[in-house]
Chains A and B, each alone.
Chain A
Amino acid sequence: GAGVSQSPSNKVTEKGKDVELRCDPISGHTALYWYRQSLGQGLEFLIYFQGNSAPDKSGLPSDRFSAERTGGSVSTLTIQRTQQEDSAVYLCASSLWTYTGELFFGEGSRLTVL
């Protein structure tokens, strides 16, 4: 597609439920990143994919968070047993190359956990 696409754009869920967030990167981009931005806070790195593998999972805040990428394209970020502190905007970005590529960001998925 023309840009990085994320869905849903908004998600309201109850505490304890599982949620899945989807990212569709720019076609041909090998690197894909997940970040989150909590209200009034800066951006926080979650996980990075090179192709289908995730060499850097260091930012995932707990084992309730997981992500996968299939076919070197679409990625899903899953949050199990959501907590109120998970409320944030979850941003996806992709780049053509891993170390030198310019980043292109999606519009984000706003998650609200009640």
Chain B
Amino acid sequence: KNEVEQSPQNLTAQEGEFITINCSYSVGISALHWLQQHPGGGIVSLFMLSSGKKKHGRLIATINIQEKHSSLHITASHPRDSAVYICATRAGGGADGLTFGKGTHLIIQP
């Protein structure tokens, strides 16, 4: 069974700082998702990766398939980036349910 580990669990940073959230998983996957959940809010899909790197605005996601590791970076962080960031992996071979990490609770202070 795939195990998805995120670090750190909690992160508090000052506005403008460069943020990195890490995700490691234990078995081969077909895709990895980064999700964002605001307090009391719904979940938004930020990225879906199967290889390489993707960028959207101030967000960058990378994945290293050989090392079974992905990172989510936020440049020029802002208080509105405060949210829980969740890594989720999708296994291959017909098992399509996602396995979720426990999430990283990010707080950006002004």
Contact = CB atoms under 8 A, between A and B. Distances in A.
A43 to B, nearest CB: 4
A48 B96 contact: yes
Nearest 3 CB-CB pairs, A to B? A45-B97, A105-B43, A43-B100
A91 interface: yes
A91 B97 contact: no
Contacts of B33: 103
A33 interface: yes
Interface of A: 31, 33, 35, 42-45, 47-48, 50, 55-56, 58-59, 91, 93, 98-108
Given A42-B103, A105-B45, A106-B42, A99 B96 contact: yes
Interface of B: 30-31, 33, 35, 41-45, 48, 50, 86, 88, 90, 92, 94-103
A45 B103 contact: no
A73 to B, nearest CB: 19
Contacts of A45: 97-100
Contact of B43 (A44, A58, A91, A99): A91
A58 B97 contact: yes
Contacts of B103: 42
Contact of B48 (A56, A102, A105): A102
Contacts of B98: 33, 35, 43, 45, 103
Nearest to B46: A102
Contacts of B101: 42
Contacts of B48: 100-103
A104 B42 CA distance: 10
A56 B96 contact: yes
Contact of B42 (A31, A56, A59, A107): A107
A33 B97 contact: yes
Contacts of A102: 45, 48
